[in-house]
Amino acid sequence: MGQMKTVMLLAALTALFMGLGYMLGGSGGALIALLISGGMNLFAIWNADKMVLRMHNAREVDAQSAPEFVGLVKTLAQRAGLPMPKVFIIDTDAPNAFATGRNPENAAVAATTGLLRILDRDEIEAVMAHELGHVKNRDTLLMTVTATLAGAISMLGNFALFFGGNNRNPLAIIAAVIVAPLAAMLVQMAISRTREYGADRAGAEISGKPMKLASALQKLAAGASRIPNPYAQKNPAAAQLYIVAPLIGGGMDNLFSTHPNPENRVAALGRIAQEMGQAARPQSINEAAQRGRTSALDPLKRRR
């Protein structure tokens, strides 16, 4: 159902883009819009991962610099039947993670030092399995194309505003400048929310620990609401990358949110746990604090 919804939303976004091109320039305008979109998509597909990692000042780690973390990702990749992705750590207290790359052979996964500090090992495993779920579902490519199409629609809207001419229908100009970009943004966010649910299921299947992912989501959402994410603040368009919304109010399951409500995701993971014959109760944040557990993968923890 999630895959079908994604296909329908992506088709709607493409139709909106082509329709806007036709409205502004007839069949020739639609063709020009298609060519522009194709060029932008090709550039984004081949360069988006490098741009995203550079934007976050992400540093690549390996078996020597972060043996436990890299070993964990390697085990999960083997379990998922995926090539080993590149592994990055981002130095920020804001707890979050994301995946990027145009295909499984060129994928990268990244986690912040804030995430590695507040989650226990099983929760980190569940989170990275979620990110590999995005890679397995090819969501990183899909979201790159979606973001590029949405950006191209906004660009066409600007063309209509500045180059529409005096003979254009004012209603068409309003539709091009305001309605079409807004509709594109809503479709883009709907696709993002849908793919998070899909990655939650894929991650639960890869790790075999759906309720560990549920407890991780609760901790990450609570942390993200308290600790500013400097990278997302500078570039809000990157918000859809993360496992939880990095900006306050971004995960409330409304038309303008990039992520589903964490409570709804936890409920869905509970149903997945029951399908797998497991108890459907996540460890609460308070329970974790009472146990005093810290991550075995904390990159800043002093080793004796």
Separation of alpha carbons 61 and 85, rounded Å: 11
Q: Within 60-179, where are the H helices?
A: 67-80, 113-118, 121-136, 139-163, 170-174
Which residues belong to the annotated binding site for Zn(2+)?
130, 134, 196
Beta bridge partners of 97: 111
What SS3 state is found at 111?
Answer: strand
Checking DSSP bridges between strand 86-90 and strand 108-112, what pairing results, if any?
parallel
Q: Judging by DSSP bridges, how do beta strands 97-100 and 108-112 pair with one another?
A: antiparallel
Binding-site members are 130, 134, 196
Q: Are strands 59-61 and 86-90 parallel, antiparallel or unpaired?
A: antiparallel
Burial class (CB in 10 A: 0-12, 13-18, 19+), 87: buried
∠ CA 203-13-154, nearest 5°, is 110
Catalytic residue among 68, 123, 125, 131: 131
131 annotated active-site: yes
Point out the residues that are catalytic: 131
